[in-house]
Structure 1
């Protein structure tokens, strides 16, 4: 995308760039009585451009002469930071527009987040900004910190220095933005840009993400998400980020009912179903984490080492206990710890003490206190091993003042040089996630020691996420689809009334017409016709009520199973038809089908999510769907490889593999049929509300839909 291509609401990447890179700033509403104003002024103390203060009384504020309005400023500033009372915001915005100012951050709250009246005021703010050509961040947001350029129009005081780095941060929370800043400082994680979005009245989270995809200073995009307001744009930007090799790491809150309620109250927006969000993230290579610590640690690791060449990791540690923790966590996160090649172990035995472990993970032992070069020697050997893709080096920076600072720097310099000359990527991970102290930062800076990822637990979690993202990135680079397959077949046109349901007979016929294997069936209107159909199919058979008015036939006694003779079939016909009449069916008939036994029952359903569109759910059918609630979700369209991966991720996947001597399922055949069902759902278009196949019976490579239901919007 070029700088002039339009984003939603007419915002371009160039306008976002102007917002984040002003050369002059006016603080509108500056006053000594406001903590926000004072914090903002202090944050801008080292701003390389000009800062003007605007106060309607024209008094001295924060020791600097103010102007009574933006009209009095000696120049047209690039950015206005607005912190006036809610009722004065629109008038101030008119003045800003009259003065020719093109960008504004609105700190003031009292807009869409407080209810209907505030939402109307926010709508007026947006209309004014759009009509007058102002780019607005907020309202109800703290602003941003452009670490890469040293520009800090941010409303909460930042204590201490922020390290310049390559992590771009977008947060839908003002207060947590400061917590992220503090955590980044304590872990010495380098940021490029941090933005507190506020209500996203004009500039959205996805607008900032799009800017970060193009920003040369940013390698990793980090998100704190309460609500995704523009789903289609989020999907597009996620794909752009993957193509650009920029991982997105997200902490999405609102998983619980209470969390969703709090997020709605905070942002004034709806929060999508969390299981669907999970599917969206997984399909679009967005790395999801569940804590602020993992958010920072994962982004930090990726900023040092992305993409990773593989999952096979060699570990170099000075602790047997650490080796045990590493082994457990690696198994949890899908990290492989392969055996070293025999020649590697032989070379390690030559340089390590006899009581050290030469196996992966390596324990050089506490003898490192006697010979500090042990881990370096081990690292030099392991880098040549053909069985590993990268190395995790367990180490940490000093916390307290060393007795000899220069000697400490020299020691870390040797480690740094060993890491630099390694033929394979080396990721330094500390034992625990603790603060990197000023002493540690000073030693790292003087020795050029690389960034240290915080703690084995969080570090291995981050390593697993990074390996998964790297696989998706390589697949994208190779042109392999990651789940956004679009059918080339034409739409399916169906004569259906709004709100109508197609029960099994019509639904099964539609599926069969478009390539979905469906169990044979016969529609009958008499007991004798039912018996004749049963004789043709061969016993045992199933008799089901055929009445489009009745969606769930089994609930009213409309299904009879295991019928093994003609008399039983006749009686079953009479019973299900009577049940249909009792339930209000106008002209009940029956379906006769051959009874299928054995195999594994799946449920496959496509349901329209109000935000994300059609979502495919695949899970174990029968009693398992209620007991285990075991399913995998995919945003449609999706390709068969993603479907197959979802099948293997089910908790009950061993049933498909042929548990306890049962026949193993052909997962390729299952994925093909599920993909065909998904394709039909997509081709049915916007009128489709839901399509359900339950059960889809799998017996080896034989896959059949036994029942189906389609509902229309």
Structure 2
């Protein structure tokens, strides 16, 4: 990945193609000047005309000084000539606003390839093409092609977007809610600088405390994983809005596992494993990111709430349930202190409604918050507090009240999150009161604030699991002599599982009814017969399975009937597996399939026919830790079946995690030829864990 520290901190900027006819040109120049860019701004126009009231230069050679960054706004056929002229003058960094490249089709893609090849040959760095530029709010560097709301609010949230128009909406929302940004960029086509390059830059940026991403695609998965891990290690949360929820077709027609692995579900798994918080809206993206940047991750789920509204208390109660937050009962000493300061008609409950008495006693809300914050059972306090939109009759008195509450928040032993009831703009009055009083960030609206609080509580749990050591590939895997192609049926697949230490049901191959009876007598009745053959993926679909055969006559009859049934389906094999019939237990599917983007992906689901009927599955991308496997099991909707629901014997989850870990280790050791490895079902009952069927598909 690229070092972009100088790219995003130029000491001089040249606007190439500056003209009065272009709104892009006017906006970019105005952004640099009005936001007090500390360096030189040069305007280039081949005619050397006066543009935006400034004398332009006809070429880079005419510029009286070094150009650190060229912002290119020319027609597409002039872009490479501009870069050639710049390169001759030592200009290395370019933002290319021009569109008409890969986003428009094959002809544009060819032009984009030319741009990339030229940049590579001349060691040039390009943001774009087809991008708006960037805003380095920390250093007042704003080569950005659309209007920036004023004033530019510098803060601690770095924003990276794979969208141009959406970037302006993000800026408007951040300004409306007084959310300070350290950095924002619109990526354009990512021809040279990619999302992962910019995230790596923000990980190293001391002013950025949280990174917010809007993603349409993840182009470089390995780099993405690396920068996400670096952000986690640096203590910088990543919040992501990833669009595209449609699942692709099955990865492999041979195994159920392939049907469980789709784009969006795999991204969910990747984000969870990397400690990335995924959100569903632009509002949640910025609200969550600003909370994490300003307050930081929250230490626990026990929430204390102080509000002046009974209705708001009910809304908060419902949303707390949605987010898994606990509205704990206040301790006795807390209740006693609240009773002393509340009006007689108020109740000292959580959420705490201090009532409209705040209109008579403006200190009541702050004093009540001070009591709740000190409660030993409260991890986080939510304060419902509306910044004024109209000038108060006593502005100085209002500022003093807000300053007193700001001091209480600053001195609190546990975090306090201020929230407005609705998602309304903070206007000039509210901004002035915040600036004069030092009052912290106020999250916009109960709905999005509760999502943000829930995310900030979950974040420490995510990163704790994400930091666990992964299960390594199986170290001692004997060489596989057979050719790794096609599909391996149950017998050969089960042998690989046994070698990896996975418990597998005993089985004997037979070629006649007499041999089937002898094998059944040996293993003990009842038994199971299964048609054997590598070309057979789903035996039950063609009548190739017979269960609970109680004696020799039943075995003979089942053998003949099964062969007749599979012959109708075109299967000529007469080879049959004989296995002991196991008692009922909970059945799981445990499979590993190769995702085309993310590689080997583990799927855990309720097994047997329930895979299709209930779609209760959880994914993890390899490598994966034992703790992550345990977390995946806990996320199954059917987890109660494993824990002993309705008097059933609970499964030994530790032993189950160990077995699934062996499956993972085997899949990683089988090499790049592996397409999928599946156990369906894996029978679990108490401490008994056993694979009853298996399938391996090679690429």
Q: Structure 2-normalised TM-score? A: 0.95
Pair 1:591-2:577 in alignment: yes
- Give the conservation status (yes or no) of the 8 Å contact 2:291–2:452: yes
- Give the conservation status (yes or no) of the 8 Å contact 1:310–1:471: no
CA distance in 1, matches of 2:619, 2:577: 31
Out of 22, 26, 30, the residue aligned to residue 42 of structure 1 is 30
Pair 1:547-2:537 in alignment: no
Report deviation, 1:435.
0.7
Out of 390, 393, 418, the residue aligned to residue 408 of structure 2 is 418
CA distance in 1, matches of 2:541, 2:93: 61
Q: Which residue of 1 aligns with 2:550?
A: 564
Q: Which residue of 2 aligns with 1:495?
A: 481
Report deviation, 1:44.
1.1
Q: Deviations over 1:180-207 (max 9, x none)?
A: 0000000100100001111111111011
Q: Which residue of 2 aligns with 1:647?
A: 633
Q: Deviations over 1:259-312 (max 9, x none)?
A: xxxxxxxxxxxx981110010001000000000110011011111111322222
Q: Which residue of 1 aligns with 2:490?
A: 504
Out of 150, 160, 173, the residue aligned to residue 160 of structure 1 is 150
- Give the conservation status (yes or no) of the 8 Å contact 2:247–2:264: no
Q: CA RMSD in A?
A: 1.8
- Give the conservation status (yes or no) of the 8 Å contact 1:189–1:300: yes
Q: Which residue of 2 aligns with 1:682?
A: 668
Report deviation, 1:64.
1.1
Q: Which residue of 1 aligns with 2:587?
A: 601
Q: Which runs of at least 4 in structure 1 moved beyond 6 Å after TM superposition?
A: none
Report deviation, 1:143.
0.3
Report deviation, 1:471.
2.6
- Give the conservation status (yes or no) of the 8 Å contact 1:491–1:685: no
Q: Tell me the secondary structure at the aligned position of residue 75 of structure 1.
A: coil
Counterparts in 2 of 1:364 and 1:179: CA distance versus 1, 3 Å: same
Q: Which residue of 1 aligns with 2:253?
A: none
Report deviation, 1:456.
1.4
Pair 1:323-2:313 in alignment: yes
CA distance in 2, matches of 1:488, 1:504: 21
CA distance in 2, matches of 1:112, 1:578: 57
Q: Which residue of 2 aligns with 1:526?
A: 512
CA distance in 1, matches of 2:671, 2:387: 58
Report deviation, 1:486.
3.1
Counterparts in 2 of 1:370 and 1:667: CA distance versus 1, 3 Å: same
Q: Deviations over 1:357-408 (max 9, x none)?
A: 2222222111111112112221222222211222111112111222222122
Out of 353, 365, 369, the residue aligned to residue 375 of structure 1 is 365
- Give the conservation status (yes or no) of the 8 Å contact 2:473–2:667: no
Q: Tell me the secondary structure at the aligned position of residue 593 of structure 1.
A: strand
- Give the conservation status (yes or no) of the 8 Å contact 2:422–2:446: yes
Q: Which residue of 1 aligns with 2:9?
A: 21
CA distance in 2, matches of 1:493, 1:371: 80
Q: Tell me the secondary structure at the aligned position of residue 360 of structure 1.
A: coil
- Give the conservation status (yes or no) of the 8 Å contact 1:306–1:470: no
Q: Which residue of 1 aligns with 2:458?
A: 468
Q: Tell me the secondary structure at the aligned position of residue 245 of structure 1.
A: coil
Q: Tell me the secondary structure at the aligned position of residue 704 of structure 1.
A: strand
CA distance in 1, matches of 2:547, 2:383: 62
Q: Which residue of 1 aligns with 2:161?
A: 171
Counterparts in 2 of 1:488 and 1:429: CA distance versus 1, 3 Å: farther
Q: Deviations over 1:535-581 (max 9, x none)?
A: 22222211000111111111211111121111111122223334444
Higher relative contact order (CA 8 A, sep 6+): 2
- Give the conservation status (yes or no) of the 8 Å contact 1:222–1:250: yes
Counterparts in 2 of 1:446 and 1:697: CA distance versus 1, 3 Å: same
Q: Tell me the secondary structure at the aligned position of residue 483 of structure 2.
A: coil
CA distance in 2, matches of 1:69, 1:33: 19
- Give the conservation status (yes or no) of the 8 Å contact 1:492–1:683: no
- Give the conservation status (yes or no) of the 8 Å contact 1:227–1:272: no
Q: Structure 1-normalised TM-score? A: 0.93
Q: Which residue of 2 aligns with 1:210?
A: 200
Q: Which residue of 2 aligns with 1:664?
A: 650
Q: Which moved more, 1:496-505 or 1:152-161?
A: 496-505
Q: Which moved more, 1:487-496 or 1:453-462?
A: 487-496
Out of 10, 30, 37, the residue aligned to residue 18 of structure 2 is 30
Counterparts in 2 of 1:184 and 1:323: CA distance versus 1, 3 Å: same
Q: Tell me the secondary structure at the aligned position of residue 5 of structure 2.
A: helix
Q: Which moved more, 1:386-395 or 1:246-255?
A: 386-395
Out of 421, 435, 442, the residue aligned to residue 452 of structure 1 is 442
What residue ranges of structure 2 are gaps of 5+ in the alignment?
249-260
Pair 1:436-2:426 in alignment: yes
CA distance in 2, matches of 1:243, 1:669: 31
- Give the conservation status (yes or no) of the 8 Å contact 1:146–1:193: yes
Q: Which residue of 1 aligns with 2:256?
A: none
Out of 105, 120, 123, the residue aligned to residue 130 of structure 1 is 120
- Give the conservation status (yes or no) of the 8 Å contact 1:223–1:248: yes
Q: Tell me the secondary structure at the aligned position of residue 235 of structure 1.
A: helix
Report deviation, 1:510.
0.9
Out of 393, 408, 412, the residue aligned to residue 383 of structure 2 is 393
Q: How does 1:258-277 map to 2 (within 5 A)?
A: 273-277=263-267
Q: Tell me the secondary structure at the aligned position of residue 71 of structure 2.
A: strand
- Give the conservation status (yes or no) of the 8 Å contact 2:32–2:141: yes
- Give the conservation status (yes or no) of the 8 Å contact 1:143–1:153: yes
Report deviation, 1:152.
0.6
CA distance in 2, matches of 1:272, 1:505: 29
Report deviation, 1:582.
4.6
CA distance in 1, matches of 2:265, 2:69: 40
Pair 1:61-2:47 in alignment: no
CA distance in 1, matches of 2:46, 2:606: 67
Report deviation, 1:53.
0.9
Q: Tell me the secondary structure at the aligned position of residue 167 of structure 1.
A: strand
Q: Which moved more, 1:284-293 or 1:547-556?
A: 547-556
CA distance in 1, matches of 2:474, 2:424: 53
CA distance in 1, matches of 2:126, 2:512: 70
